[in-house]
Amino acid sequence: MGFFDKIKEFSLKVTEVENSIYGGKTDYLEIYERNLQLEKEIEQRTKELNLANKRILTLQHILDMMNSAKPLQSVLENIVNSLQGELGYLHSNIVRVTSDEKGEYMYVLAQSKDLAIQRVNSIIHDPMQTRRLAYAPDSFYAEAINEKKIVQTKNFEKALKFILPELDEETVQETIREKQSKSLIIIPLYTRNKPFGIFCVFSSREDLTETEADFLTTYAQQIEVAITIADLFETVKAQAVTDSLTGLYNRRYFEESLAREVMRAQRQNQPFSIIGLDLDFLKKINDVHGHAYGDLAIKTIANILKKNARSIDIAARMGGEEFNLLLPGIDSKGAMIAAERIRKAIETEEIETIGHITASIGVATYLEHSDNIEEVMELTDQAMYLSKRNGRNQVTLAKPITETSWQEIAVNTFLDILSKHNVPIDSTLSDEICEKLKNANQTKDILYSVADMINSIYNPLHSEGVMKSKVLLAVSLAKRFDLSKEEIDNLRIATLLYDIGNLMLPQSILLKRGPLTDVEHIKMQEHPLIAAREILKPISYIQDVIPIIEHHHENWDGTGYPGKIAKEEIPMTSQIILIVDAYFALTEQRSYRAKLSPKEALEIIKQDAGKKWNKALVEEFVSLIDHDLN
């Protein structure tokens, strides 16, 4: 091989090496570039994950705050501060759209605490959160709400003039001079498909990406949930203390308010008055026009009470057609003036189809008539029913108790029975109960407690507090039939005593789980006569109560016991005890069956209307229970 041939061969080898090196270099560069791309993708994914994590944390904060007991404004302020702090927005706020007699307007419900809002507030002097903001129908804000979409604007001047048109040009220009915010993002807020307001975010970015818009939409939805839950909570809270038909406070709230007012009156030695009011002829309205018009009459009374009550007065529907008005700091003279004003307002009000209605009203004053609130309530009740008995549509001021009260008669009756050991109760327990009765300050509560204790002896499943509920329900029902005060007082005593004859029956019958035999049925049916004739007859001052107890198991169709009398022969007070007793028996646990729900018990009672009970009585009873359930 010649010299030139060797050079040519060497050149070929060099070329092969170069090609090999170049090929390797290309591969290396491709690998290097691919790795760089992967690193960028990993970095981007990491940023996305970090942002997503921040968003999740922010939403979790909202959920946590929604589950707390903080007020709505506090929750919303924490929400906007979380957004501003965690995601780098310069400022955010939640604005409510509302209206009054001057028209629609907006106000800041919550805003983030930052330098941006501090600067704006210092320029416009009155802080943004205290201002009435204009709501222009052609504004960005209205556009977001009306079209249910996110609106972004970079025109801060226009955005500011929309809400504060009264600002002069110099103030506007100074306010928007700050250059950090590049755009304003407006997100509409809706609660239960109704417009609530807007959620505003001041961003340092000019563009709004689809991902960011999705996040802000989700964030706004969480705000909407927080607002909705807060509204529902307030609604439920209000429902717990208000009457659903009238919007007045209910019995429970009235009694709580009364207890607070007693403490205040004692501390300041200042009287307060109670006006008791009962709508006249509600049963007649229901019978002639139907219950819808009866409800309308009740609502009319409620509206008149609202109009005539001061902001510090407590107007309450106590049940059925009965209302109370608590007047803090008002003596009997002032209360009588207020009561007469209410009476006239009711009398002059005309209702569609019904025409005019009237009410019977009673007034009593704490520290004037008595320093015992139970007596004051009793006196109010008595005065109201004296108005009713004397012709209705009048106001009666309470008078001091000049005769023995029903509580005293009941206490003396229990003392007589227990001290003489006329019933088979352990003597130690009898003596203990007698001591309680003799030293009682709150007579009613002691009476209810004693009646519960005695019932528990022959019925171990009896619940404490049931006797009080029975008496209150029986009295409410009696008032619907315009029974006299004397009849109602006798009913109260009879309700406490009607089952006392059970103490004389064998426990094997009372607590038997299976069905009773014929002989046991006959024995069981003796308890009204035992109570009436053996236990109570020797007590002279209880004679008017005995017939009520003796006939409290007589049925309307004559199939009851012990006398098998029917219809109007049965005292109304006995019929009331029978239906009240049946209702509580059905809704209490028994040894032979589980307790029923109130609605299940009412269905059973309704099935026996016209047979076991007077139809009118059933109708009024169901109405009373439905009111309590609702």
CA angle 6/10/29 to nearest 5° reads 170
Q: How far is residue 362 CA from its own chain's centroid?
A: 28
User: Per this entry, what is the length of the chain?
Assistant: 630
Radius of gyration (Cα) for the chain, nearest Å?
Answer: 39
CATH architecture of the domain covering 72-239 = 2-Layer Sandwich (3.30)
Fold match, 251-397 / 406-629: no
Residues in a beta bridge with 197: 96, 189
Choosing from 77, 321, 375, 620, the catalytic residue is 321
Q: What letter would DSSP give residue 517?
A: P
Domain ranges of the chain: 1-67, 72-239, 251-397, 406-629
Level-2 CATH architecture, domain 251-397:
2-Layer Sandwich (3.30)
Of 415-424, 471-480, 544-553, the range with the lowest mean pLDDT is: 415-424
- Interstrand relation of 272-279 and 103-111 (parallel, antiparallel or unpaired): unpaired
Cβ atoms within 10 Å, residue 404: 11
Compute the distance between CA of residue 373 and CA of residue 492 in angstroms, rounded to an integer: 19
DSSP character string of 37-97: HHHHHHHHHHHHHHHHHHHHHHHHHHHHHHTS---HHHHHHHHHHHHHHHH--SEEEEEEE
Query: What are the tens digits of pLDDT across the range 48-57?
Result: 555 655 555 5
What number of other Cβ atoms are within 10 A of residue 611's Cβ?
Answer: 12
Rounded CA gap, 3 and 603, in Å? 124
Q: Domain 406-629 adopts which CATH fold? A: Hypothetical protein af1432 (1.10.3210)
At residue 68, φ and ψ (nearest 5 deg) are: -90, 175
Q: What is the pTM of this model?
A: 0.49
What integer is the mean pLDDT of 373-390? Answer: 85
Rounded Cα distance between 289 and 115, Å, is 66
Closest residue by Cα to residue 222 from 82, 380, 18: 82
Report which secondary-structure segment, H or E, holds 99: strand 91-100
Tens digits of per-residue pLDDT, 422-447?
Answer: 677 777 888 888 887 777 655 667 88
- Output the CA torsion sign for 145, 147, 149, 152: negative
CA distance 497 to 253: 30
Per residue in 127-181, pLDDT (tens digit) is 888 889 999 999 999 999 999 999 999 999 999 999 999 999 999 998 888 768 8
- Residue that the structure tokens 């009672």 belong to: 605
Tell me whether residue 378 is one of the annotated catalytic residues.
no
Residue of 268, 269, 260, 262 whose CA lies nearest to 372: 262
Between 193 and 593, whose confidence is greater? 193
